[in-house]
């Protein structure tokens, strides 16, 4: 079944909602963004996550030493590199699982992927001014041209209205959503999260009201 990551988490309540409705991973943005979160806030949320939920830290053009220090402080499981990082940085981050993001406009933008050896590849929509979280989509048929044995995650412009179609076309390992489940930038919407995960998982998900955050 396709995995779901809810990215751009900024507070405990949004994390709780995402987990209650079945998110497999939640993401924290440690880069310039309306969804930026402090190390201290991320750590306090991660400490309250239940077992089997993956905590991902998103970084943009940060050096390996700072990335690893942040991940250790917060207790993160996975590093997501969402900038113009060179392939060599992955050799310095071997203590963590890694996701390398690529912004896609045309088929030519998948060419650099073969130079990287992360644990997974993320393909995102392209924006001239932002590295991610823009709500910009891309032609999902391009994914069929990617030559990699790594799991592929798709992001960019996904909502509950189109994610099923995206999965049908691309058959990805996972989907990553941020702005598509927000009521405003940086604030998640309970109903949109539920609709999105329902659309991905193809099942009715109830409000568990889980106790693991208490």
Environment class of 122 (CB within 10 Å of its CB; exposed 0-12, middle 13-18, buried 19+): buried
Q: Is 24 an annotated catalytic residue?
A: no
Catalytic residue (choose from 7, 20, 71, 74): 7
Question: 27: closest CA among 162, 120, 142?
Answer: 120
Catalytic residue (choose from 14, 20, 24, 124): 124
**Do the beta carbons of residue 5 and residue 26 sit within 8 Å?**
yes
Cα separation, 171 vs 165, whole angstroms: 10
Cα separation, 61 vs 78, whole angstroms: 16
First-last CA distance in the chain: 29
84-88: long-range pairs with CB below 8 Å, 24+? 85/61, 87/115, 87/116, 87/117
Angle, in degrees to the nearest 10, between helices 12-20 and 190-201: 30
Q: Is 124 an annotated catalytic residue?
A: yes
Active site residues: 7, 124
């Amino acid at each position: 079944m396709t995995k779901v990551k809810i990215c751009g988490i900024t507070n405990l309540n949004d994390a709780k909602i995402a987990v209650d409705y079945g998110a497999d991973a939640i993401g924290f943005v440690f880069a310039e963004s309306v969804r930026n979160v402090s190390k201290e806030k991320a750590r306090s949320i991660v400490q309250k996550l239940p077992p089997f939920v993956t905590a991902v830290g998103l970084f943009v053009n940060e050096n390996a030493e700072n990335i690893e220090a942040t991940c250790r402080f917060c207790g993160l499981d996975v590093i997501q590199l969402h900038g113009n990082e060179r392939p060599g940085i992955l050799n310095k981050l071997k203590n963590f699982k890694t996701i390398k993001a690529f912004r896609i406009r045309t088929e030519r933008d998948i060419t650099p992927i073969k130079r990287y050896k992360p644990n997974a590849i993320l393909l995102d929509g392209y924006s001239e001014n932002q590295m991610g979280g823009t709500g910009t989509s891309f032609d999902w048929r391009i994914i069929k041209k990617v030559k990699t044995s790594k799991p592929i995650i798709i992001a960019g412009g996904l909502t509950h209205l189109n994610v099923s179609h995206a999965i049908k076309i691309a058959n990805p390992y996972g989907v990553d959503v941020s702005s598509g489940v927000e009521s405003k930038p940086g604030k998640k919407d309970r109903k949109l999260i539920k609709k999105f995960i329902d659309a991905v998982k193809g099942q009715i998900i109830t409000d568990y009201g889980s106790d693991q955050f208490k």
